Amino acid sequence: MKPHLKVFRQRKASMIREAMEARDRAFSYRKFNVGVSALCFNEEDLTYRTFRGINIKPEEEGDTICGERISIGAARAEGFRLLVGLVVVGKQQPDGVTKIVRKVLPPCYKCRVFFRGLLGHGISPETLVYMLDPDTEEHETLSVAQILATYNGRIHA
């Protein structure tokens, strides 16, 4: 993963801009908008590409489609199976399941289960998630391993 993570660091600034733009296209009945840019690697032609995602939650009832999962799904559909890193731009809020409060918006419970299920199938423990609150400019980078270690013990809380 090391060479891939170097590319992620190199592209992060432009990925932040992509995620910010995408965030304006999100749809949330309560105006809680999230934008994502995912850097993915195609193991067949050895190329990198970023894919954007947004959250969509038209009504309170029913599921949220998260930007993280949309971007990863779009990438895989195009043959970009390896997720190197995500940039997630959204306002800070406490985790819905564990109630853990950070200064940023970490992936939700359903996204964490999704990451866990894809470990070894396109997601590495070293895959990075850079989170940015666009209002406060607080930001934090965690690996998928760190995210799962922080939240997984209480995944069924």
Q: Which residues are at the interface with Zn ion (CB under 5 A)?
A: 66, 108, 111
Q: Which is nearer to Zn ion, 18 or 68 (CB)?
A: 68
CB of 24 to Zn ion, least distance (A): 19
- Smallest gap, in angstroms, from Cβ of residue 126 to Zn ion? 20
What's the rounded Cα separation, in Å, for the pair 97 and 116?
Answer: 16
The closest alpha carbon to 18, from 59, 74, 81, 102, belongs to 74
Please, are residues 55 and 66 in contact by the beta-carbon 8 Å criterion? Answer: yes
By beta-carbon proximity to Zn ion, the closer residue of 42 and 141 is 141
Q: Specify the residue, 42 or 152, whose C-beta has the smaller distance to Zn ion.
A: 152
CB of 69 to Zn ion, least distance (A): 6
Maximum Cα interatomic distance, the chain, rounded to a whole number of Å: 42
The rounded radius of gyration (Å) of the Cα atoms in the chain is 14
